Amino acid sequence: MKILVTGTNGLLGQHLIRKLAGMNHHQVIATGRGVQRVPRDASVNYINLDITEVRQTRNIIRKLAPDILVHAAAMTQVDDCERDQKRSLQVNVLATQTLLEACSGRNTHFIFLSTDFVFDGIKGNYNEEDPVNPVNWYGETKALAEKKVAEYSGAWSIARTCLLYGMPLHSYRSNIISWVKSSLEKGEHIRVVNDQVRTPTNVMDFANGILLILEQKATGLFHLSGNEIMTPYALAISVAEYFSLDKNLIEAVDSSTFSQLGKRPLKTGFDIRKAIRVLGFSPCGLQSGLEEINLKI
């Protein structure tokens, strides 16, 4: 199969491409903006692609005609999306529409990656049947893009995840695990919210879940996350304890402590029983995730 992945310079993209490169029965095309940060492998072809450039995007999709397209590229920083709504609409929604139109009629399985921030955070422990109701512009753009994907004429899948963490293979912005670890190693006092609830997700688990979808040609909506419900503060404490760092440097605060442009949903987290039943998805626990990260440091 010929598989094209967008956004491969990001945390998830790097890990997904490495996994795909190890599967010899796939032809893998990695795309991203700027310098290649994915593993350099003879079986992976990297293309510098700005998905907001409509003509370039259409030409590449039509020329390559992938059997599967995994759309991981997105503008994900909540406050940046709030600050520049036009740009985030262009990246998260209009570019998705361009890709869908380019794939239409080509028998391409379109796999779109999404977020728990499509929910309002009132109910928590969301399953695939729960209605979306975003409370910030980032979530709004992802919900709009999901709707477009669900209208696609070919086979489609949407894979949502929640509070992704892990070690990047190449330079990338920090995530909660790397930020907590780095800050505590420097002896810095940090404040972490304790009134938000999530199901933290190891990037390797999310990558594995996406592989299950494409290998099984599974269609529809899937929640792929960890299975442990916790607050970011509890997660930070776990990181400190695992790496033998001073957890007294971590202060529990509520969301009102921070002045943020984009509102965060308080309680999200996923019910992943469908992914377990249909895909055979089996996420590792946080302890195993931290052990894996420790081996790579």
Rounded distance, CA 95 to CA 54, Å? 7
Residue among 131, 289, 270, 145 at smallest CA distance from 203: 289
Which stretches within the chain are classed as H helix? 11-21, 54-64, 78-83, 85-89, 95-103, 137-150, 176-185, 203-216, 232-242, 273-274, 286-296
The rounded distance, in Å, linking the Cα atoms of 173 and 13 is 13
Residue 173: the pLDDT is 65
CA dihedral 154, 134, 167, 257 (to 10 degrees): 170
Question: What CA–CA distances, in Å, run from 91 to 67, 116, 136, 144?
Answer: 23, 18, 16, 12
Report the candidate in 132, 154, 160, 142 with the shortest Cα–Cα distance to residue 219.
154
| Residue 262 domain-assigned (yes or no) | no
Question: Residue 47 and residue 36: Cα distance in Å, rounded?
Answer: 8
In a domain, 25, yes or no: yes
Which pLDDT belongs to residue 262?
Answer: 93
Residue 155 lies in a domain: yes
**pLDDT tens for each residue of 198-248:** 999 999 999 999 999 999 999 999 999 999 999 999 999 999 999 999 999
pLDDT tens per residue, range 257-295: 988 999 999 999 999 999 999 999 999 989 888 988 776
Residues 125, 270 contacting (CB under 8 angstroms): yes
Query: N- to C-terminal Cα distance for the chain?
Result: 33
pLDDT tens, residue by residue, 86-132: 999 999 999 999 999 999 999 999 999 999 999 999 999 999 999 99
- Please state the domain count of the chain: 1
Question: What is the identity of the amino acid at 167?
Answer: M
Give the pLDDT of residue 152: 97
> Which residue from 120, 73, 79 is spatially nearest to 92, judged by alpha carbons?
73
Contact of 30 with 47, CB cutoff 8 Å: yes
Strand partners, 46: 30
The verdict on residue 96 lying in a domain is yes
Average pLDDT over residues 161-181: 83
Asked whether residue 265 is domain-assigned, the answer is no
| Cα–Cα distance measured from residue 163 to residue 177, given in angstroms and rounded to the nearest whole number | 10
Task: Confirm whether 290 is domain-assigned.
Answer: no
The domain that holds 206 is classified in CATH as 3.40.50.720
Would you say residue 240 lies in a domain?
no
Let me know if 202 is exposed, middle or buried by CB neighbors in 10 A (0-12, 13-18, 19+).
Answer: buried
Boundaries of domain holding 147: 2-166+200-226+270-285
89 in a domain, yes or no? yes
35-86 tens-digit pLDDT:
776 666 657 899 999 999 999 999 999 999 999 999 999 999 999 999 999 9
CA distance 205 to 93: 26
State whether residue 50 is helix, strand or coil.
Answer: coil
Going by pLDDT thresholds of 50, 70 and 90, the confidence category of residue 21 is: confident
Does the structure show a pLDDT above 80 at 17? Answer: yes
